[in-house]
Amino acid sequence: MIKEDISSASHGNVPHAWLDRKPHILSKEGHLDYCQIRRFPMMSWRKLCCALKRNSLPLQHDIFQKLIRQTLYQIGDLHFISNHECPKLLMEWRDYDTVEFFNAIVPILLKMCNNQKQQPQLYKASAMIGEISNYILCLQQLNGECIDAQALDDVTIELARVAMGWAKDYDDEMMKL
């Protein structure tokens, strides 16, 4: 999509200047969200939460799934704290605490699950929601942070319900034939 030097000091207005170059699958808001996540890695988790909350990125497309994976898995330099029982990642370069990210994104994921119910054609987006949820749970366990693991279980359960609903609807359609 946008292949511009991220280290450039004047990259802040590029997304606005390139609105005429945005892909047809993105809205204006989606294009700006995509560019902001890519161009400002220090704020990427916050920008990702905002984009998911606005539902501005079409998660069923591979390029946006890659962007989300890149955003989630880019954790910066690894620092292990030795005085803990198990190794703990110290993510100093993030702009806010991981617990804040967890608490912000879980309700967004639940809402996204509910939106998926009537959209079986977006099954890839549902898989991405599950992957985000799984990543958060794994990172939470590694860091030993206190978040509501039940809320992540609720995301998983809701995704399973959505998929089972799709399977039931498809089975009903097949029986009619």
**Any residues with CB less than 8 A from the CB of 175 and at least 6 apart, and which?**
none
What does the pLDDT read at residue 121? 87
Looking up tokens 């690894």 gives 78
What does the pLDDT read at residue 119? 86
pLDDT digits (tens, 9 = 90+) for 60-105: 999 899 989 888 877 555 555 666 565 555 555 444 567 777 888 8
Low-confidence ranges of the chain (pLDDT < 70): 1-18, 41, 75-97, 141-148
For residue 118, how many other CB atoms are within 10 A of its CB?
Answer: 12
What does the pLDDT read at residue 139? 72
**155 is written with which tokens?**
């995301």
DSSP symbols for 124-151: HHHHHHHHHHHHHHHHHHHHT----HHH
Task: Give the domain ranges of the chain.
Answer: 11-176
**Any residues with CB less than 8 A from the CB of 150 and at least 6 apart, and which?**
none
The whole-angstrom separation of Cα 52 and Cα 47 is: 9
Q: Exposure of 106 by Cβ count < 10 A (0-12 exposed, 13-18 middle, 19+ buried)?
A: buried
> Helix, strand or coil for residue 52?
helix
